[in-house]
Amino acid sequence: MKTIIIKSPSGNVQSIFSALSRIGVNAKLTDNFEEILSSDRIIFPGVGEAKLTMRYLRKKSLDLLIPKLKQPFLGICLGLQLLCFHSEENNTDCLGIFDLEIKKFKNINMKIPKIGWNTIYQLEGLLFKGIPEESYQYFVHSYFAPICEYTRAKTDYIYTYSSALQKNNFHAVQFHPEKSGIFGHKILENFIKFL
């Protein structure tokens, strides 16, 4: 099985490579059209700024390719946000797979960005097979996806928001499964095995 990690300026890839290796998966980092098209699984990570990453995707024409992909696809953190149609981060137009606008956390009394562990609940879909309700995952973010028809997991911090989205073959999580211990690694394993 060929697993691809999409190359971008915001990818936090070393920890993902390590986590995949622990579950027996050798992945390749690339932004090459043919390699992406011929893959069996695609992971789109991101830790960084939305406009910079979208600029890179457009330069490589990946903004045209990604929405047409049919393989199981997993967006992580910024990767989730860029799958939506727009982000408040620097007024950025994104990939438009989820008809959803990414919002900025606004609260003067709570820490932003949100950094650290939080629970996920109301879990739906095979991505969460064997994951207990209220399990902890590791988050680092200042922007969030509101609750919507695509929501497959929820988290509470300032607001109740979508910590996972899914539409057809596109799955996305706001947290970092590669940094979330056994339950995070189980989510990656589910993505490889069951989707």
pLDDT of the chain, 195 residues: tens digit per residue = 899 999 988 766 889 999 999 999 999 999 999 999 999 999 999 888 999 999 999 999 999 999 999 999 999 999 999 999 999 999 999 999 999 999 999 988 999 999 999 999 999 999 999 999 999 999 999 999 999 999 999 999 999 999 999 999 999 999 999 999 999 999 999 999 998
The DSSP result for 99-120, as a single string, is: EEEEEE---TTS-SSEEEEEEE
CATH (domain of 10)? 3.40.50.880
Catalytic residue among 49, 77, 185, 189: 77
What is d(CA 187, CA 189) in angstroms, rounded to the nearest whole number? 5
Tell me whether residue 77 is one of the annotated catalytic residues.
yes
The candidate with the shortest Cα–Cα distance to 120, out of 164, 76, 84, 81, is 164
Q: What is the rounded CA–CA span in Å between residue 167 and residue 124? A: 12
- Global pTM reads 0.96
Task: Name the active-site residue from 84, 141, 178, 189.
Answer: 178
148 is catalytic: no
Domain that holds residue 189: 3-194
176 classed as catalytic? yes
Q: Which of 84, 89, 171, 176 is catalytic?
A: 176
Q: What is the C-alpha to C-alpha distance for residues 128 and 133, in angstroms, rounded to an integer?
A: 9
User: How many folded domains does the chain comprise?
Assistant: 1
